[in-house]
Structure 1
Amino acid sequence: MNNKKRTLGLIKASHLLGAGLAMLMSFSAASKDYKIVLIHGLQVSQIVNKSGSDVVNDGETYWQSYWNSRADERIDWPAYERVEGKIATDWVWPKLKQMSQSNLCEQGCVFVTHSTGDLIARHIIDNQENWLENAGLKPLNIVATFDLAGAGGGSELADVAVSALTGASWNFAVDAALKWWLGGEVTEAVGVLHDLKVNNARKISPFPDARTPRLRFVADGNAYLGLTGGFLKGNDDSVVASHSSCGASAAKSFGSCSGNIDTDGHLKSQGNAVTSFMPNHYPIMMSKSYNHSEIHNAQRKGNVTIAMNNVNVEDNNIGFKTFDKTTGSWFWKKEYRYVKDSNNVSASALIYNVIP
């Protein structure tokens, strides 16, 4: 009898614990003033294996490290389609319609994007009001986007891939870089690879009427043994160059999003910094501690710095507490600026914490 009671007690405690965890997870998203909507980046597995793709499940897996439990909604899309084609009509539009009908963004939504999600978001910002009003629905109140390693300016890797896969250009270096990036053999240039070509990406909804702030979070770390970086202009995160992740108005070689601080936090004049940005693009965070695939996950931690701070989103100032650190002395003396606690907290956690 005692064992039975003990077992029932453990089961009850387990149920209560599970309910409590569920409440905490839902409260995490609900505690924000604005609803969080996720838009993932390029799912390379869908390029390599279209028939084996599960778009919704892939979307969930993409964000499972950190953001899934903290978000209110997700917009999933297939990499084998085009942004202005079936991605917009068959995937984005039904989700926008659902979000409008449920009044999800009545108090405001923040879109959190990674990589190509930046480009998808720009197309949404430019068109959602017209699409929804034409359907007799209320447009979404998108107050800002938080773009992590944004590929809205395109990636030179996509130019290389499309060129190689259409037979225009190929060599061993190109082949090795594409295998590292795409993770397998790709036999043809399909879908969003075409949209990610630098010139093509910059032609998609380049000047949205909506003045939605695009807050940029930039990685500058190395991956793929450095094989992909040689094809990218200026500093890069191994998939997109800083001209894209910073939100520069031109696709040139840049070293930093800020004229007076390097991506590693070194306070020093930057002669090759971005000076002109795409409309409403504001680079906030920069870090050499993260590469392209790490900045939206929870496992990695490392020092990050700021390019701009206290950017206004409606009546909220989005910014980070920072501290300065001196290393060396005399001629070897250097000053660095870091975001407080960034070496102990993932970039995603830092970003989530400043969403109103």
Structure 2
Amino acid sequence: MERTSVKSIKQMLVSSFVLALMGTSINVSAKAYKTVLVHGFQSQQLSAIDPTKVESDGQAYWADYWGALADERIDWPSYERIEGKIASDYLWPKLRTMSEQGVCQPGCVFLTHSTGDLVTRYIIDNQANWLENAGLEPLNIVATFDVAGAGGGSELADLAVSAANGLANPVIEAAVRAWLGRSVGQTLGVLHDLKVNNARQLATFPSDRTPRLRFVADGDLYFNATKLFLPGIDDSVVAAHSACGANQAGAFDSCSVSVGMDGKLESQDGVRNFWPYHYPMLMSDNYDHFSVIVNQSKGKVTTANSSIQLAPNKQVAFSTYEEEKGFWIWKKKYRYVRQSDNNSMSALLFAAMPE
């Protein structure tokens, strides 16, 4: 645990950055909705099962940027299954407490990363019934910001399960080791849920019409050891079909049919059909699966959609501009988000949250 003084200094530094970015006196409390964090898969938990570290692991996951800006955090262990103990021992108790305390009465935005996207879909599908059956008020989840979302699963999880069952060749085993940081062991936990077919069967069509905003990367990790096994564009862990919210797995070059991940305005082999209420927003070929949630600028960002209305007078919007590159017949037009060359994607997301 951090000492109080160190934590306070860190929060002050993060807040100072946000104020400088916004150019005004806006702070976290000025946002219209509460922010709830739902982290992703944590591979180290598979080899060191320790329920006493679930909370501290969740805190560390968001420490670089979002931890100091959020109102609540939902922590869960990667060594369990979503429909098993993750739901009964971690999701339900937290949701019950949030309802009892009225956290989401003004509305909540769930900000998820990676497998947190899949976990949140399960929450959206079940939370109202769970809470109403307990005589409590359902959470008012206004929207989700799904960053590098794994709601459609990851082909790497399929590889990991195969490797655990002794069905992988050395190339697959090397890719799994690169991703997990070690060889896969006997504990697989949420990796079963992350298999592409399994993920796409889990709470696929929640009756709740919560808008799910997608923020997608196309970067390189692990010396490209994993990219061979991910179809289409990917962030080295999750393919575009999953991160964009496509209603079927496939090889896609973008979340849009008219703008590339690099911002180029031309025809793309992009996702055409999405899961209900899934809306791709920002895309970038400069960020990878993990750099999207830290406070480090990696380069320009583009939009698949520049704005979406969440409620009357409440919208998420990104200001864009167009730029031409090249010469004569080779000239191409690109679309970028303003200030994205100087600010991290996470900072852009926070600035765009409704006030």
Give the equivalent residue in structure 2 for 1:305: 302
Correspondence 1:253-272 to 2 at 5 A = 253-270=251-268, 272=269
- Against the structure 1 CA distance between its residues 247 and 153, is the aligned structure 2 distance closer, same or farther, given a 3 Å change threshold? same
- Structure 2: how far apart are the matches of 1:163 and 1:222? 24
CA separation in 2, counterparts of 1:39 and 1:51? 19
> Could you tell me how far apart the structure 1 residues matched to 2:277 and 2:33 are?
19
Mark the CA change 1:95 to 1:184 in structure 2 (over 3 Å): closer, same or farther: same
* Counterpart-to-counterpart distance in 2, 1:281 and 1:206: 12
| Structure 1 residues 1-356: aligned runs within 5 Å | 21=12, 28-51=27-50, 54-167=53-166, 169-270=167-268, 272-315=269-312, 316-356=314-354
Partners of 2:241 and 2:249 within 8 A in 1:
yes
Superposition deviation, residue 22 in structure 1? 9.7
- Amino acid of the structure 2 residue aligned with 1:309: S
Partners of 1:255 and 1:48 lie apart in 2 by 35
In the alignment, structure 1 segments of 5+ residues that lack a partner are 1-13
Match of 1:7 in 2: none
Alpha-carbon separation, structure 1, partners of 2:243 and 2:162: 23
TM-fit CA distance, 1:332: 1.6
Contact 1:215 1:282 in 2 (8 A): yes
Runs (4+) of structure 1 exceeding 4 A deviation are: 17-20, 22-27
TM-score (norm: length of structure 1): 0.91
SS in 1 for 2:102: coil
Q: 2:260 is matched by which residue type in structure 1? A: D
> Letter of the aligned partner of 1:98 in structure 2?
T
SS in 2 for 1:350: helix
Aligned equivalents of 1:102 and 1:49: distance in 2? 33
Counterpart contact for 1:161–1:189, Cα < 8 Å: no
Equivalent in the alignment of 2:23: none
- Deviation string 1:89-114 (CA, Å, 9 cap, x unpaired) is 00010100010000000010000000
**Conserved? CA contact 1:149–1:295, under 8 Å:** yes
Equivalent residues, number: 339
Whichever of the two has the greater Rg, that structure is 1
Specify whether residues 95 and 22 from structure 1 end up closer, same or farther in structure 2 by C-alpha distance, changes over 3 A only: farther
Gap change, CA 1:21 and 1:51, over 3 Å in 2 = closer
Distance in 2 of aligned mates of 1:122 and 1:343: 32
Distance 2:52 2:276 in 1: 35
Question: For the Cα contact (< 8 Å) 1:263–1:286, is it kept in 2?
Answer: yes
Listed as ranges, the gaps of 5+ residues in structure 2 are 19-25
Q: Give the letter for the 2:49 counterpart.
A: K
Q: CA deviation at 1:334?
A: 1.1
TM-score between both structures, scaled by the size of structure 2? 0.92
* Cα 1:54/1:277, change in 2 over 3 Å: same
Contact 1:48 1:182 in 2 (8 A): no
